[in-house]
Structure 1
């Protein structure tokens, strides 16, 4: 008897993907968005199968993702935002709310939602995560594609 492994890959049979991107810290989130689109295109997802929605900040990502999923026929969504630590507890509240919101949406909708939210101590750290050494928006795009592919495999 052999083990039956089921895996996804970054090239699903077909996929319609949403991206919700926060306007707050847009100098960083726009780089994440560009990285995500480039990764999607590089894995066979055409521009016609991508929809981008913008929301004010990271705190608003879960509701914007939910609304996008309810209004469009999508296979998955990438949530992109940046939360930079300040001198108040606000950072922890926002990070916890966004993480919990995205987690609940994954489980309640049954659709993959990639968590592309940077949580950093300062702007320099955030910029390092969207620079030449890697782009967290692209990584989130690859994660959502792999999850879409995995779901397609599981539903065969």
Structure 2
């Protein structure tokens, strides 16, 4: 762990009060690929002193359903942070860039309206094919994204908590 990670390491141990709850929402399209993000996210969160019981998991059919689900969870007041994961591919029928823009804008709108931080591991590759090479590349890439989104989540949740007590 480097100095940056240590500075933001989670400090809400059991004797310091209630733990921060986190929601993780995942789209089911290309689930075998996106699951890599969830696995890496969980491992990283556990290394930051979160327990599996601190994280609630939700699945939605596709990425387009994520923003509404995120909004409902954020409005519940139950979560210190919400993570969204999914893979948007160009299926040739519609423009995937419109879908990705709608999803990311929706996630940003939710966090600005509710004050609950929302983190995106929703990826939109320019070109994706079901070839073994692409599947392997994106499975590996979602591992990296899972680690990154977990660290961003912990750091942001801690920063917001410190603002509330300042």
Tell me the TM-score normalized by structure 2. Answer: 0.80
Distance 1:109 1:93 in 2: 24
Residue pair 1:28, 1:126 contacting (<8 A) in 2 also: yes
* Matched position secondary structure for 2:49: coil
**Contact 2:44 2:147 (8 Å CA) reproduced:** yes
The whole-number CA distance in structure 2 between the counterparts of 1:149 and 1:33 is 21
Q: Aligned residue for 1:9?
A: 8
1:78 paired to 2:87:
no
Q: Secondary structure at the match of 2:140?
A: coil
1:51 matched to 2:56? The reply is yes
Aligned to 2:96: 91
After TM superposition, the runs of 4+ consecutive aligned structure 1 residues lying more than 6 A away are: none
2:32 to 27, 51, 67: 27
Q: Structure 1: how far apart are the matches of 2:65 and 2:151?
A: 23
C-alpha distance in structure 2 between counterparts of 1:39 and 1:25, whole Å? 22
Aligned 8 A contact 1:17 1:75 in 2: yes
- Structure number with the higher helix fraction is 2
* 1:100 counterpart = 2:120: no
Alignment of 1:155 with 2:164, yes or no, is yes
TM-score (norm 1): 0.85
Which structure is higher in RCO with an 8 Å CA cutoff and minimum separation 6? 1
Query: Which residue pairs with 1:5 in the alignment?
Result: none
